[in-house]
Amino acid sequence: MAGIDSTVPAPAHTAAPVSAGPPAAAVPLPSAAPTCAPAPGTALQDRLAGWVSDLTTLHELTERVSRTDTLPEALDELLRAGAALVGAARGLVVLDPADGPATTTALGLDHADLGHLETVPRASLPHARLLDGLGERELLITDLSTEEGLDPRHREVAGRLGYAAVYGVRLERDAGYGGAGGGPGVGFGRLTGRGGPAGTGGGVSGDLGGAGGLGAGCGLSGAEGLDGAVISGVPGNSQASGVSGGRGVPGNSRVPGGSGGSGAVCGSAAPGLPGVPRGSGAPSLPGAPGGARVPGVRGAADTPDPVARPGFCGAVVWLYEEAGAPDERRRHLVGLYTRFVAAHVGRLLEVESTRACVATIAEELLPSRLPRVAGVQLAVRHRRGARGGGDWYDALPLPDAALGLSVGSVTGAGPSAVAAMGRLRASLRAYAVMEGEDPVAVLSDLELLLRLTEPARSATALFAYCEPALRKVTLAGAGHCPPLLVGDRRTEFVETSVSAPLGMLSCWEAPSVELEAEPGETVLLYTDGLLRRTGDPVDRAFTRLHTAAAGVPRALRGDPGAVADHVLRAMVPDEEGGAEDVVLLAARFE
């Protein structure tokens, strides 16, 4: 069987498939009984086994790619699965959405190989031809050495990289699965002959939809399917043969309806099925003319052409070491698979775009640079977590050569936490300008504002009023982590009084704390994400932080940025994958 080898063995009680050629001479039996030619059901059973194998393969591949939750993982899986479907060893996928940057992912090609491909004129690159083409969904070059109109540079690069043929498919974000014109079952029915529930968004094991099975109703109702699409690449089946397990499918001129007993053939029989005349089929249902429409049955005219819809997001290309091409069945399977993956990749692109927008807004709400104030050096390190967005930091020059420092964290995550963080930080700046020399008053006013305007939200905060000329710091905290003082002679936490977070009590109050830093000492202000990212209990996390700060090499202590980097590496060695925001603000007094 062409295409993917069937995982379902041929039934033991059936004979070998009958070819379309002339039958061999019959061998008389000893009893002189007439010989029996292989039944037409034999070829149908073999064809059913092939379809079941294809369905199983698509089920496994789509289920695997649907488990990916990041764009790189999905593209890697697309390349590997597609290469297995079309029989290639290397590949390349390029995403070029209109609302985002281009992304290139390769299979079996390193950076040097990609650099060679970039020297080929764009008009000759396979993926560029798919991206720039009008209406072309796939591209097939069976032999680069004999292809007419191919740029000589492309032949040179192909010879250097060792590929001789190319097959590519355009990825369309809105086409096929999950699009406006039908759900996953529509595309899947093109293989199985079963129409799926339009627009359901479900799937095989949650991905490809409840359609596409071999079961009740019409059983395998023919390659034409309820959506009116013709299966391509099935040997010996040019139209719409199929086995009906129930009533026929009326309402389609190419799939006549019928009563259809078990094993009966409906629609046009394919060449190569002996004993079944072409065009035979059971009579139509009473009152249903041959071309009548039946409610709930989708026809070809009901399915919009995906090519006419905008929104394609890229192209995938597979490279062959020898001249040749995948057969029609493989191309049909990879077409169904890439349509499903295109919808999945489109969703991942939207998710990443949304996350990038939220991250950009969060960064823009924080200071883009720290002020320069005589007598103190500042540095900050900020890592945004997957479920974060509510942590902030600030450094604000104040009258009389003073400096206001603040860090804090708003409860919640996502865009709402980002917006609340921006409001709280802006309010704190206003209170700091008016009464910054009294940190308790600053936090009291901030708590009152939060309680009146956002009673369902709470926050922790720490505000420090610094006088660099005197190396004096006056600070107050609201349920926040204590600062850490790092120097050559001491490394110790600044004991702040125990206080509740903002918005937790009807009347918030806490005393302020004063400290005097020695020349060269650094004060570290941080959010609790620095402790949570360690995964240790709170007491062990504090011990780990103290050890990391005490272990800063003496040569690095003159640079607050180097001190912050050292502490951050010791506490959070993995820069990616954390759920919590991390803020570390360092102020070194001269």
Residues 530 and 431 in one domain: yes
**Is residue 339 included in any domain, yes or no?**
yes
| CA dist., res. 586 & res. 563, Å (int) | 8
| CA dist., res. 72 & res. 51, Å (int) | 31
Residues 539 and 579 in one domain: yes
Residues 432 and 509 in one domain: yes
Which residue is associated with the tokens 């190569």?
272
For the segment 557-569, the average pLDDT, to the nearest whole number, is 95
For the segment 83-103, the average pLDDT, to the nearest whole number, is 88
Instruction: Evaluate if residue 430 carries a pLDDT over 80.
Output: yes
pLDDT for position 87: 93
Q: Which domain holds residue 144?
A: 69-176+309-351
**Is residue 292 included in any domain, yes or no?**
no
Mean pLDDT, all residues of the chain: 75
| CA dist., res. 126 & res. 123, Å (int) | 8
Residues 461 and 342 in one domain: no
* Confidence tier at 425 by pLDDT (50, 70, 90): very high
Q: Which run of H or of E encompasses 404?
A: strand 402-410
**Is residue 199 included in any domain, yes or no?**
no
CATH code for position 412: 3.60.40.10
Instruction: Evaluate if residue 179 carries a pLDDT over 90.
Output: no
**Is residue 232 included in any domain, yes or no?**
no
pLDDT for position 134: 59
Residues 335 and 452 in one domain: no
Q: Which has the minimum average pLDDT: 41-50, 55-64, 294-303?
A: 294-303
Rg of the chain over all Cα atoms, to the nearest angstrom? 34
Residues 463 and 580 in one domain: yes
Residues 430 and 566 in one domain: yes
Residues 321 and 434 in one domain: no
pLDDT for position 269: 35
| Vertex 233: Cα angle to 232 and 238 (nearest 5) | 65
Higher pLDDT pick, 499 / 524: 524
Residues 487 and 549 in one domain: yes
Of 351, 375, 408, the domain-final residue = 351
For the segment 295-310, the average pLDDT, to the nearest whole number, is 39
Tell me the three state secondary structure of residue 262.
coil
| CA dist., res. 500 & res. 135, Å (int) | 63
pLDDT tens figures, 345-360: 989 988 888 888 888 8
pLDDT for position 39: 65
CB atoms within 10 A of CB 354: 11
**Contact predicate 549/567, CB 8 Å:** yes
The DSSP symbol for 556 reads: G
Residues 408 and 443 in one domain: yes
pLDDT for position 573: 82
264, β-bridge pairs? 244
**Contact predicate 567/485, CB 8 Å:** no
Give every strand in the sheet of 138-141, ordered side by side: 103-107, 90-95, 312-320, 165-172, 138-141
| CA dist., res. 375 & res. 456, Å (int) | 41
Tell me the three state secondary structure of residue 341.
helix
Of 294, 327, 351, the domain-final residue = 351
Count of domains observed in the chain? 2
Nearest to 74 by CA among 93, 102, 89, 53: 93
Q: Which has the minimum average pLDDT: 186-200, 501-515, 568-582?
A: 186-200
Range list of β-strands (E), 267-339? 312-320
CATH code for position 155: 3.30.450.40
pLDDT for position 490: 93
132-136, 291-295, 353-357, 536-540: which is most confident? 536-540
Residues 455 and 561 in one domain: yes
For the segment 365-376, the average pLDDT, to the nearest whole number, is 93
**Is residue 236 included in any domain, yes or no?**
no
pLDDT tens figures, 108-117: 999 999 999 9
Name the token pair of 495: 């004991």
* Confidence tier at 165 by pLDDT (50, 70, 90): very high
**Contact predicate 212/189, CB 8 Å:** yes
Of 298, 324, 351, the domain-final residue = 351
**Is residue 284 included in any domain, yes or no?**
no
* Confidence tier at 38 by pLDDT (50, 70, 90): low
**Contact predicate 210/195, CB 8 Å:** no
Tell me the three state secondary structure of residue 92.
strand
Tell me how far the alpha carbon of residue 515 is from its chain's centroid: 50
pLDDT tens figures, 285-302: 333 333 333 333 333 334
**Is residue 111 included in any domain, yes or no?**
yes
Q: Give me the helices (H) in 436-503, please.
A: 439-453
| DSSP notation for 111-137 | HHHHHHHHTS-GGG-HHHHHHH-SS--
* Confidence tier at 256 by pLDDT (50, 70, 90): very low
pLDDT for position 374: 94
**Is residue 19 included in any domain, yes or no?**
no
Percent of the chain predicted with pLDDT > 90: 50
Residues 421 and 522 in one domain: yes
* Confidence tier at 217 by pLDDT (50, 70, 90): very low
